[in-house]
Structure 1
């Protein structure tokens, strides 16, 4: 029902809005610091298998707090099922055909909801709903009352995977740019030197002071938006430039090309984080920065993703110089299915002096 969907969205948004993320910055910082902790030095390491499990744990813990330990294995399997589903295939099957990949995803989704259901019932029975995203969804609305259990179960699998799927793709591009632009990495490291020695002590003030680091993350997301192609449905007949779009039509929006529009971004193909430090460079200007979508269908977890990526970038640059393996050809493949990613990317970390 539309009312129930709106209620569910409003409930989970309470836990994902920027103020809620800012209140848990120390927890996020402690999580992202584990990426630097686990990085072997002095040898080439494939990045995504190193980064993704840590980001998954941060995302699942942000959503479910103390229940994350139980749910993390099921969330990971849900992610694996999604990756299997979007692999290239020589056949394009209608959505109603129960292919092996679709059946696999359904089984993993059922397993996740079966693990989540007793947690929801326990929290409601004990009246200890929690202050995490799940707890926010279980809080009764003054207008609609408590959200139905099935509505909670329907909405959480997708958002659970999204909390670490998109940041994982972005992380590869960000770390690659730290390796390719050592002067930018040095500037991030200097900024990160002011972070507390204990990551858990990081506050929203510390985070807000990472001006250049946040600008670098935005610039990488501008050049390589993980969600490089968005779909929208036109609710009414619309005129767009010289084109007439009929009501109900599906419109494809490409942030990758929009971000390279010289009218909005001078020297659009150049990596220049400083553009986001200028008064004119603002990610809040409608239609200019689309890495997390825009409007009512924009990514709900944008603030969480920016916190994860900014802190990961700062903590990694503070400890390490990164470099690519020698060779004329890039040591990775660009994949575009469901997102823009650096498959097989290897980097080497050397301790800063």
Structure 2
């Protein structure tokens, strides 16, 4: 490459002329560093657009979670069934794009904004997993197993790369460390693991337990539904065709109860494992909000998001995923009370 095509080549030539005591080998190594830095800057120019792609994928996840939230509120289904945001190949692909930031274990992303963005992605993944849990009940056996395995592989990859960044210290890297050295303590590593890695692994265990329960519970629900249906059809008044308004209302209420409580997704949403996932999601969200509020002044004061290759897109990712974490926690947390609210509605219907 022609040195004249590299920025600051004139300054380099002035340095070479003004320092005659510098050896040729040293000049070559110095020139090699300049050349590599220039090439790195050239190759990293598309990175902000890749960051915007991550932001777009995150936005799609947020919109899907909000759509399920509004659908549940509109239909007064406070257990919030998964209608728009379901675990399938398409959603897994979008999720894989949305969580790319912590998946890059060797890319230097210095500064508080970048650290907050990576931690926000981990919390965002917790929120996504908690929202998707009831959708497992809508799958057949083969699809359920394949989707859970695919999600497990994605989670293991995310956790593995995040743990590498914690171990190497690249997660906490800052250019100021060259002048103000800061030793990463064991407590910092433990807090990062306990606050973001452990909740994701706990949710993955809940997914495995729920999958095993769903495979058997569907058969039990179908058997109980058929038994209740046959019992209702054997009613003498129904066979004779003599139905009063009160009796008709009772039959409609009974069938409504059977249809509502016999739904596999309703059963999963009202289960203990789903309630546990809601608590885990809320705890992860609370911890992330605490970190953002505690470091908010540093995020505003240090405009260091331009130090990495992603540049301004990191700030966009952080904003979208933070909104998604907050809004996405509503449905999982509400499912913790789904059993009580649904039971109240059943009593109202008689």
Pair in the same fold by TM > 0.5: no
Q: Which has the higher helix share?
A: 2
Q: Which has the higher contact order (CA 8 A, sep 6+)?
A: 2
- Taking structure 1 as the reference length, the TM-score comes to 0.23
